[in-house]
Amino acid sequence: MDYKQAGVDVEAGREFVKKITDNVASTYRQGVLGGLGGFGGCFELPQGYQQPVLVSGTDGVGTKLKIAHELNQHDTVGIDLVAMCVNDILTSGAEPLFFLDYLATGKLDSSQLAKVINGIVTGCKESGCALLGGETAEMPGFYQQGEYDLAGFCVGVVEKSKILDGNNIQLGDVAIALPSSGIHSNGFSLVRKIIETAGLSWQDKPLELEGKTLGEVCLTPTQIYVKPVLAAIESGLAIKAMAHITGGGIPENLPRCLPKDKSIEVNLHSWTIPPIFQWLAKTGNVNQEAMLNTFNLGVGFVVIVEEKIADSVIKHFGKYVLDAKVIGKVIKGDQNIKFN
């Protein structure tokens, strides 16, 4: 017997790496040393930092992948993978430098997985980081036919004196929300349960979605906020803290950037909740508290600034077609969120 008879095609793996090499190289930026295929990726720290601090993050796409598998649509989940990682490290004020992926499957389908890599490449270009390397694992018997799993790893850099940790947040500062592009990559176990219980399919077009299928809306990739946020910082807009609204929604994620003696009062009527969330709440009979603790509800990222510069911040993000809105104000408290 050999490895191929056991279900692992080593030669197919080599061909897959060759197939994606040029695409991966298209993400390279200054600092990349060497190319794809080594045991480790090498990256030289950018010049100009006095005390450079590396910021790292890792994440996956979760059960959103089940939808990609069912619809045989694999070109967007790679964007989600990058977005979930780079948006996380961005909250420290870090510029993403490089990204690595881990892709595991039962049997390597080079056409399918090349589409996944295309998405990762797109995400890296949108966030300005290099796809420095990765791992493709063929694991027969571990995954169902045609299925794969993804994990991503990102490293960025920030000047130590410019790390955003929220310590200088003051009473009266405001929280400005940047809109999400949709569900992003959290809450899909509940999404899938609602659709299954309702007896619907991914091809159905609820009236609320204005002609789009559930599959189209649910596979909309996660918004990447890196370039507009870094541009805001570089322009001199004094952002004090930031939060990426992921699993757990606003109640779990926004307090993570607050000092222990501060809270934020959030006005639930200050932004319009996108139709997909309204449809999920109605169809699944999900109460407001559960929706808030599961989904982003249209708020993908939050920056906290002094109230006097709020208009300037909103105007800045408008240049990037991001309809930013003030959704709350910093108050005394114990690091939680109060809704009104």
* Residues above pLDDT 90, as percent of the chain: 88
Q: Tell whether 4 is covered by a domain.
A: no
Three-state DSSP class for residue 142: coil
* CATH number for position 287: 3.90.650.10
Q: Tell whether 2 is covered by a domain.
A: no
Can you name the residues that pair with 33 across neighbouring β-strands?
Answer: 42
Kindly state whether residues 267 and 324 are assigned to the same domain.
yes
Q: Report DSSP letters for 71-86, one per residue.
A: HT--SSHHHHHHHHHH
Give the mean model confidence (pLDDT) for residues 287-315: 97
pLDDT digits (tens, 9 = 90+) for 213-270: 999 999 999 999 999 999 999 999 999 999 999 999 999 999 999 999 999 999 999 9
Q: Counting beta carbons within 10 angstroms of the beta carbon of residue 334, is it exposed (0 to 12), middle (13 to 18) or buried (19 or more)?
A: exposed
Kindly state whether residues 226 and 272 are assigned to the same domain.
yes
Q: Tell whether 1 is covered by a domain.
A: no
E strands, 110-261, in order: 130-138, 148-159, 174-179, 241-244
Q: Tell whether 223 is covered by a domain.
A: yes
In angstroms, the CA 104 to CA 259 distance is: 39
- The model's pTM is 0.95
Confidence class for position 9, pLDDT limits 50, 70, 90 = confident
Can you name the residues that pair with 102 across neighbouring β-strands?
Answer: 135, 151
Last residue of a domain, one of 132, 162, 192: 162
- In the predicted model, is pLDDT for residue 7 greater than 90? no
E strands, 29-139, in order: 32-33, 42-43, 52-60, 95-105, 130-138
Helix axes 226-234, 77-90, angle to 10 degrees: 30
Last residue of a domain, one of 127, 162, 197: 162
* Residues above pLDDT 70, as percent of the chain: 100
Three-state DSSP class for residue 188: helix
Q: Tell whether 65 is covered by a domain.
A: yes
| Average pLDDT value for the chain | 94
Q: Tell whether 270 is covered by a domain.
A: yes
Kindly state whether residues 53 and 153 are assigned to the same domain.
yes
Kindly state whether residues 193 and 325 are assigned to the same domain.
yes
Read off φ and ψ for residue 311, nearest 5 degrees. -60, -40
Kindly state whether residues 59 and 122 are assigned to the same domain.
yes
In angstroms, the CA 281 to CA 226 distance is: 30
Residues spanned by the domain of 40: 10-162
Kindly state whether residues 185 and 158 are assigned to the same domain.
no
Task: Supply the pLDDT for residue 10.
Answer: 76
Q: Tell whether 183 is covered by a domain.
A: yes
Domain total in the chain: 2
- In the predicted model, is pLDDT for residue 337 greater than 80? yes
Kindly state whether residues 295 and 333 are assigned to the same domain.
yes
- The answer to whether the CB of 139 falls within 8 A of the CB of 106 is yes
Last residue of a domain, one of 162, 187, 211: 162
Give the mean model confidence (pLDDT) for residues 70-95: 97
Q: Which of 5-19, 34-48, 303-317 has the lowest mean pLDDT?
A: 5-19
Task: Supply the pLDDT for residue 22.
Answer: 87
In angstroms, the CA 184 to CA 182 distance is: 5
